[in-house]
A and B are shown apart, each in its own frame.
Chain A
């Protein structure tokens, strides 16, 4: 199981990496911009009259702050997920251990 999981993680890593190594599609204004920004550009291009009728209540004041918050989001999520898996792993190991002792 451990080997399978490591292979799966390696595969996910390679799929992530491959767009960075392959040649970019042509006529790209900005490489690897957000898909939402691209959609926004398409909407504005096709509907020049559209007025955005609501602005975000708060925007991260700089790219750095935005990175901070995204990193915080990832850290909170992976922290909780890691806590859960670690806890259960420890519990199941202890159960096996106790079971082995009981059989002795």
Chain B
């Protein structure tokens, strides 16, 4: 279960990022035929982000304390003190932003330049923020790995 959660949450997070990127690109080149697609993919982005929240959140609340104990004692303690803290708190903002994406996208029609601009900005903010979350996750995983390697080597 622990390993599944550890692997599943960056996958759903990555897919949510791709969905936001899809919405951004589709909106950039939007026509009548892309309206339904933009609305559907924005909803999928929000659903995937909520799934990431529950999967990653369950791992964080139930299992993370073991990793945390190793990371804090290891040479990459910043994996916990900066990257994990950043990730767990910025993600809460990202979740709301992804939830807002379909709210904005559902009033989209190609003639409405204002909503088009809004959807572009919201999707455009989700992508780099999500990538920062994925990157932070990679640093945290590496911080745990470095700590465990040194423990195995007896350093």
Are chains A and B native binding partners rather than an unrelated pairing? no
